[in-house]
């Protein structure tokens, strides 16, 4: 984003004809960017503080998070997914390629409500994969393109800005916008995948009585806070894409003048 803002400043030095509508739209996007940045920071703060809070509550049943994950997998009829620890904090994920459910240091072996909630959420992803849940399949299919897009889009925006500054072709910015649109699509598909994994997690924890009553509410709060970080990431990616598009439109508009 810093690269992008430098780019916008550079681009503005080349503007001789004011484009009121685009400038207004750009201003709206700048305001939206600030709002989303604040939302992103507060979502990150909220997930850390909620996880920390409910890490302090040990579940009454006394199972560890990895034991819960293994049992939920067996209950779902899944026997080929491994559950193993991984370094780091909130690095928990399900890897569909190797069919491995990796739980972070603060989750694996923990008996806390927060850890059990996270482990059940990741198990939800393993169940989605096993069932062939279509948004997850689509997300996994476009992931290689997104991986390239997320790495190349911002450097391309910067190179595109240099082209823009020297009044060359818009092709680099257009390629950047196209690549970045895959990143946006990926984030949009991620939302139902994440919400669905969380709702499965809560339903399973309730059905098999791993958590109950206030414990279940605690796990819900942890998963809801985590979901908000995905909403923030999606909103942020949409704004970045719109800003690249506005830049392209601004340049196209000046060409017609």
Q: List, by residue number, the catalytic residues.
A: 122
In the bound state with Zn ion, the residue whose beta carbon lies nearer, of 40 and 199, is 199
For residues 113 to 152, the per-residue mask of contacts with Zn ion, x marking binding by CB under 5 A and - elsewhere, is ----------------------------------------
Residues between 196 and 225 that touch Zn ion (CB under 5 A): 197
Q: What are phi and psi of 85, to 5 degrees?
A: -80, 155
Report the nearest approach of Zn ion to the CB of residue 192 (Å).
11
DSSP state of 58: B
In the bound state with Zn ion, the residue whose beta carbon lies nearer, of 101 and 244, is 101
In the bound state with Zn ion, the residue whose beta carbon lies nearer, of 175 and 191, is 191
Q: How far is CA 242 from CA 37, 206, 227, in A?
A: 15, 42, 23
What is the gyration radius of the CA atoms in the chain, in angstroms?
A: 22
Report the nearest approach of Zn ion to the CB of residue 213 (Å).
24
DSSP per-residue codes, 170-230? SHHHHHHHHHHHHHHHHHHHHHHHHHHHHHHHHHHHHHTTSS-THHHHHHHHHHHHHHHHH
Using H for helix, E for strand and C for coil, what is the string for 97-123? CCCEEEEECCCCCCCEHHHHHHHHHHH
For residues 25 to 64, the per-residue mask of contacts with Zn ion, x marking binding by CB under 5 A and - elsewhere, is ----------------------------------------
**Core vs surface per residue 9-20: b (16+ CB within 10 A) or e:** eebeeeeeeebe
For residues 147 to 186, the per-residue mask of contacts with Zn ion, x marking binding by CB under 5 A and - elsewhere, is ----------------------------------------
In the bound state with Zn ion, the residue whose beta carbon lies nearer, of 190 and 240, is 190
Residues in binding contact with Zn ion, number by CB under 5 A: 2
Neighbours of 101 (CB within 10 A): 26
Q: Which stretch binds Zn ion (CB under 5 A): 64-72, 194-202, 213-221, 240-248?
A: 194-202
The residue ranges that bind Zn ion (CB under 5 A) are 194, 197
């Amino acid at each position: 984003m810093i690269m992008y803002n430098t780019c916008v400043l550079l681009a503005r030095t080349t503007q001789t004809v004011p484009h009121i509508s685009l400038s207004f739209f750009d201003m709206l996007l700048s305001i939206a960017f600030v709002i989303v940045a604040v939302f992103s920071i507060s979502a990150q703060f909220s997930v850390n503080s909620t996880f920390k809070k409910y890490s302090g509550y040990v579940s009454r049943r006394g199972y560890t998070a990895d034991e819960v994950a293994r049992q939920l997998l067996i209950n779902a009829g899944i026997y080929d997914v491994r559950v193993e620890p991984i370094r780091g904090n909130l690095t928990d994920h399900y890897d569909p390629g190797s069919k491995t459910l990796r739980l972070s240091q603060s989750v694996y072996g923990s008996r806390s409500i927060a850890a059990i909630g996270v482990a059940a959420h990741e198990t939800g992803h393993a169940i989605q994969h096993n069932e062939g849940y279509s948004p997850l399949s689509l997300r996994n299919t476009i992931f290689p393109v997104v991986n390239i897009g997320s790495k190349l889009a911002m450097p391309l925006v910067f190179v595109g800005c240099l082209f823009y500054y020297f009044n060359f072709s818009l092709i680099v910015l257009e390629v950047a916008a196209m690549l970045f649109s895959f990143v946006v699509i990926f984030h949009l598909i991620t939302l139902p995948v994440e919400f669905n994994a969380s709702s499965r997690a809560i339903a399973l924890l309730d059905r098999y009585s791993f958590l109950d009553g206030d414990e279940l509410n605690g796990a819900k709060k942890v998963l809801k806070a985590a979901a908000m970080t995905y909403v923030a990431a999606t909103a942020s990616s949409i704004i970045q894409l719109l800003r690249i598009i506005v830049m392209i439109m601004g340049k196209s508009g000046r060409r017609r003048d």
